[in-house]
């Protein structure tokens, strides 16, 4: 029978795998940034959202990222987190057009300022992705 420590390790391992496949480098940067101020919180971020929620059956990762991008856009004040999830959306196969449409849809429910913030965050993420692609192509 698994112990509490075994279950926690399973959640953490499952969360790390999900974090790798969804957020990649951006997610690891968030976790690393927490290491010196709140390492336990970094563990919670890996275990709960990624080990428990993102790993559930019922929605594929594309659908989960659409929901996350919509929610973070609607908040209107979560640009750093939105940027991580915009990159995650690209990582799991969302097109730039799909991401843009999700953000535009939020103008109806969250207002134009929230949608504008989301579109500017997307513009920055897309530009960064283009720059990385250009650098990789020149190597």
Q: What is the CATH number of the domain that holds 84?
A: 1.20.1290.10
Nearest-Å Rg of the Cα atoms of the chain is: 16
Domain count, the chain: 2
Q: Are residues 23 and 82 in the same domain?
A: no
Q: Tell me which of 11, 34, 56 is where a domain ends.
A: 56
Per-residue model confidence (pLDDT) at position 1: 59
Cβ count near 121 (within 10 Å): 23
Q: What is the mean pLDDT of residues 55-83?
A: 96
The domain containing residue 34 runs over which residues? 1-56
pTM (two decimals) = 0.87
Q: Are residues 63 and 111 in the same domain?
A: yes
Contact 31, 39 (CB under 8 A): no
Per-residue model confidence (pLDDT) at position 24: 80
Q: What is the mean pLDDT of residues 62-88?
A: 96
Q: Are residues 139 and 80 in the same domain?
A: yes
Cα(18)–Cα(13) distance, integer angstroms: 9
Q: Are residues 82 and 112 in the same domain?
A: yes
User: What confidence tens digit (pLDDT) does each residue in 96-130 have?
Assistant: 999 999 999 999 999 999 999 999 999 999 999 99
Q: Are residues 121 and 109 in the same domain?
A: yes
């Amino acid at each position: 029978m698994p112990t509490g420590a075994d279950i926690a390790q399973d959640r953490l391992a499952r969360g790390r795998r999900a974090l790798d496949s969804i957020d990649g480098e951006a997610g690891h940067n968030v976790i690393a940034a927490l290491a010196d101020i709140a390492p336990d919180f970094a563990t919670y971020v890996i275990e709960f959202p990624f080990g428990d929620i993102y790993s559930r059956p019922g929605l594929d990762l594309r659908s989960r990222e659409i929901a996350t991008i919509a929610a973070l856009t609607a908040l209107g004040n979560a640009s750093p987190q939105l940027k991580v999830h915009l990159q995650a959306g690209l990582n799991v196969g969302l097109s730039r057009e799909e991401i843009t449409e999700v953000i535009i849809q939020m103008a109806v429910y969250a207002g134009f300022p929230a949608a504008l913030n989301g579109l500017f965050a997307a513009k920055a993420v897309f530009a960064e992705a283009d720059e990385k692609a250009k650098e990789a192509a020149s190597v």
